[in-house]
Structure 1
Amino acid sequence: MIHCNLVASLLLLSLSVSGTTNRSELQCVQMIRVPRNTVFRARVMTELKINCTITQHGCHRSPQVSWCKIYGNHCKALNLSNYIETEWKEMTEHKGMAFLTFLKLSMEDAGLYRCKEGDNSVSHVINVTVTGDMNTSPKNDLQWVWPYVYICTGIAGLVLVMAVTLLYAVRRQGRKSTGKDMACKNQCIKTQKSDLLLPPHLCLNSDLLTSVIYRV
């Protein structure tokens, strides 16, 4: 009789605990928050950390977070390795953040990922984009410079052409002025020669003559 009463008490206690646990689990609400069209971009062989935020209310356990990568219609669970790590950080009493860290990105790491909590809650797709290898990435990073180089080169060429044109015009103008001066000087010399009254025995060298004054 005592044995039967003990068994019945243990049964009632287990049912009571089970009912409390079930009610607690029913009150636990967890939500994964990842914005649509989320994209993470990094170069190969660098570290990249992606994340998803999880909010929970009425829960008495830590979130059971896992990550998977999409292949076709299936999201295959990730196997942790020396190059992939997961981390959970509590931000507030009702919110935390799950991280997936790629320690050394490779081209094979590019793709679509999801964050999961348990078996029911799944996040939106997270797009991981991996840019080219380390040897070509610096060139790609400098592609935006080339349009400015072309513009500056064009401006410098235009300024050079304008400077050469101006110099040529100044020199040509100087030559014209010199020619006019020489013509005027020659004309003055001829005029002076024609106006001179020279004795018959006096012969002048036209190359040395600048002015002669004859007095009677």
Structure 2
Amino acid sequence: MIIQATILILICVNVIGTTNGTEMNCVPLIRVPRNSVFRAPVMTKLKINCTITLDGCHRNPRVSWCKLNGSDCKALNYSHHIRTEWKDIKKHEWMAFLIFLNISMEDTGLYRCKEGDTSVSHAINVTVTGADDDLKWLGPYVYICSGVGLVFIVMTVSFLYVIRHQGTKSTRKDKANKNQYMDTHKKDLLLPPHLYLNSDLLTSVVYRV
């Protein structure tokens, strides 16, 4: 019995020593670029991420997220519109995600990714914009397009006015020429005065023509 107890104790010590040795050789590393900024319109989906490497570790990452409140990073309370997930990239390397399913203005702030209790990433800036903010960039283009449209309308009206004015001049000129032509031919058709004195002769002349 004593021998069996001794063997069991040695096995437990060996296992504990191996586990502690493994954890001592485990070096978590979190990579997030400095000054990372994510922008999203309100009521949309946003996904932020950090990369985790566990060199010398024989376990999956223990990832958590927190939001900075002054100097403290408060752990997130995951709800219906915030969730987490992670995926393998390669051996001993993962990518962890924090997903805002329906982001709101209250979600604006600085977030950090944590592995275990010791490794913490750089802050990730999440900026949520309103619907009006997303349309502000259109302002200058609206003014430019309005100006171009106004110039086009003025040019079109001016062009049509010139065409119509030229057409009116041509009509008046043609009418004047026509009247002059008719007056000239009327004079050619007028009979000598002495023919009007004899109605029979006038009728004869008219029929001859």
Length-normalised TM-score, structure 2 = 0.72
CA distance in 2, matches of 1:169, 1:201: 46
Identify unmatched segments of 5+ residues in structure 2: 199-204
CA distance in 2, matches of 1:175, 1:50: 76
CA distance in 1, matches of 2:125, 2:194: 112
5 Å-filtered alignment, 1:176-191, equals 176-187=173-184, 189-190=186-187
What is the deviation of 1:162? 1.6
Q: Kindly provide the amino acid, as one letter, of the partner of residue 177 in structure 1.
A: D
Deviations 1:12-35 (A, max 9, x none): 962x54543343223323322223
CA distance in 2, matches of 1:182, 1:101: 87
CA distance in 2, matches of 1:202, 1:128: 112
What is the deviation of 1:38? 2.6
Pick aligned residue for 1:162 from 152, 159, 166? 159
Pick aligned residue for 1:146 from 136, 142, 149? 142
Q: How many residues align?
A: 199
SS in 1 for 2:90: coil
Q: Residue in 1 aligned with 2:9?
A: 10
Identify unmatched segments of 5+ residues in structure 1: 204-211
Q: Kindly provide the amino acid, as one letter, of the partner of residue 146 in structure 1.
A: V
Give the aligned CA root-mean-square deviation in angstroms.
3.8
Structure-2 change in CA distance of 1:130 and 1:96 (3 Å): same
What is the deviation of 1:115? 0.9
CA distance in 1, matches of 2:91, 2:65: 23
SS in 1 for 2:9: helix
Structure with the higher helix share, 1 or 2: 2
Pick aligned residue for 1:124 from 122, 125, 129? 122
Length-normalised TM-score, structure 1 = 0.70
CA distance in 2, matches of 1:154, 1:30: 64
